[in-house]
Structure 1
């Protein structure tokens, strides 16, 4: 009941819920981390891939001088529309683009940045090859990926709750895609297959995911990601029930009231 295309379907109300709930809860800390890792570099043009609703884009525009050109791309126009609506400190170029076939000339950018997008690419070596192609010699690619789902407590609780709710056909989007590309040896091999010859620098960074109640991560994951499509494909009428089950699972581990769970990701930096 799932497909690679369904895993990339950020449509309907998902962009709004993603921006409202997921961005402050799990994406903002790593956006700040990514930007802090490149702001000291000499930059003229920066390309962001899989920009989503623009949390990294906003941090780039806040940290970099206005003389730096930022192009922010995403496969999903609905996500870019939300990003553009939220806005940035200075104008950036929002552009729909497929990471498998970037619409840019060779050696155009000093840096390519991608936050939690690589996991969605169907052919990762091809995507890395495209990123390398548009980087100037000496330019840098920096991206992050989620560690395994067991290291990310809210996501793990939600997945377990849905597995209990749909025991004959558990929705596996979270483990399969967002948390499905965490093996560092595989990532290194894919970078090599994409043409990178230098060794990547890899950091594993833990952070905290906080919300005022368990309801927020339940809505965020069940209704603000393509997991929603997996739930509705099983039974469209059970989305609210699935959200309730996810909330109950989080309450069981973290208690009522504000919740505070571990999140963990790998940050990879490599020069062309």
Structure 2
């Protein structure tokens, strides 16, 4: 399994600070994955509580291996799940809200779960063109990633309209630029890339000789990004807050 928390290590403190969870807060963590952001929020919430929600039972099983007293996990689609109205002070998400089919509907559902004056704090990717990792990996293989859902909230004006249509007030966008960690060395990074769905799909479309060339080009590209402290790619994200 790709170590997503390791990949996002340089975003961890920036996002945690932006969330601003306080003692006693009731927090909803959307797309919580393996639970790192849930546990961080729980530590800051103190006497409060955190509910981590994800659609992947596999990821939630991983999260439950590190139990925390004020944390619960729920297998559900946060876009449509009927949360108790006005039951959370803060809704957070680290790269977990871009994939909703109906973005306005999903954010409307999350807004209903927040108390009046509650806060939304989400980390999302800026457009693909601003993210080196999203360009050079498919280029090395000789193809194009077709799924643009990861960048669905990358355009500031579009996302502002989505959030205000869902009932959120005065969204603010803070640009964040941090490296992504793909592995301690080229071999680890190569194995991690090949665990991802889209590189797998691109390679599967090639004949054996072309696939061999693509794999060699991928290794060469990863070697060019080996800093000695890991294989790193430039990335660009937004921290979006709204009430």
Q: Same fold (TM over 0.5)?
A: yes
Q: In the aligned structure 1, how far is the partner of 2:91 from the partner of 2:206?
A: 40
Q: Does the CA contact (< 8 Å) of 2:22 and 2:44 recur in 1?
A: no
Paired position in structure 2 for 1:172: 146
The range that moved more, 67-76 or 95-104, is 95-104
Structure 1: any 5+ residue segments left out of the alignment? 1-16
Give 1:104 shift: 1.2
Structure 1 residue 102 and structure 2 residue 81: aligned?
A: yes
Deviation sequence 1:189-213 (CA, Å, 0-9, x none): 00112122x2111100111234422
Give 1:237 shift: 8.2
Q: Does the CA contact (< 8 Å) of 1:222 and 1:243 recur in 2?
A: no
Q: Does the CA contact (< 8 Å) of 2:10 and 2:178 recur in 1?
A: yes
Deviation sequence 1:210-266 (CA, Å, 0-9, x none): 44223333333331x43256347637989x856654332222x43585433322110
Q: Normalised by the size of structure 1, how large is the TM-score? A: 0.77
Q: Does the CA contact (< 8 Å) of 1:144 and 1:265 recur in 2?
A: yes
Structure 1 residue 135 and structure 2 residue 117: aligned?
A: no
Structure 1 residue 188 and structure 2 residue 165: aligned?
A: no
Paired position in structure 2 for 1:68: 48
Q: Does the CA contact (< 8 Å) of 2:28 and 2:88 recur in 1?
A: yes
Higher relative contact order (CA 8 A, sep 6+): 1
Q: In the aligned structure 2, how far is the partner of 1:61 from the partner of 1:247?
A: 39
Specify whether residues 23 and 140 from structure 1 end up closer, same or farther in structure 2 by C-alpha distance, changes over 3 A only.
same
Give 1:92 shift: 1.2
Q: In the aligned structure 2, how far is the partner of 1:236 from the partner of 1:83?
A: 39
Q: Which runs of 4+ in 1 moved over 6 A?
A: 235-238
Structure 1 residue 202 and structure 2 residue 173: aligned?
A: yes
Q: Does the CA contact (< 8 Å) of 1:146 and 1:266 recur in 2?
A: yes
1:82 to 54, 62, 75: 62
Give 1:122 shift: 0.7
Paired position in structure 1 for 2:12: 31
Paired position in structure 2 for 1:12: none
Q: In the aligned structure 2, how far is the partner of 1:171 from the partner of 1:200?
A: 29
Q: Does the CA contact (< 8 Å) of 1:61 and 1:88 recur in 2?
A: no
Structure 2: any 5+ residue segments left out of the alignment? none
Structure 1 residue 254 and structure 2 residue 225: aligned?
A: yes
Deviation sequence 1:33-63 (CA, Å, 0-9, x none): 2221233546431111111112211222333
More helix by percentage: 1
Number of aligned residue pairs: give it: 239
Specify whether residues 131 and 180 from structure 1 end up closer, same or farther in structure 2 by C-alpha distance, changes over 3 A only.
closer
Q: CA RMSD in A?
A: 2.7
Q: In the aligned structure 1, how far is the partner of 2:19 from the partner of 2:98?
A: 21
Structure 1 residue 119 and structure 2 residue 61: aligned?
A: no
Q: In the aligned structure 2, how far is the partner of 1:110 from the partner of 1:255?
A: 42
For residue 94 of structure 1, give the secondary structure of its aligned residue in structure 2: strand
Q: Does the CA contact (< 8 Å) of 1:57 and 1:88 recur in 2?
A: no
Paired position in structure 2 for 1:151: 130
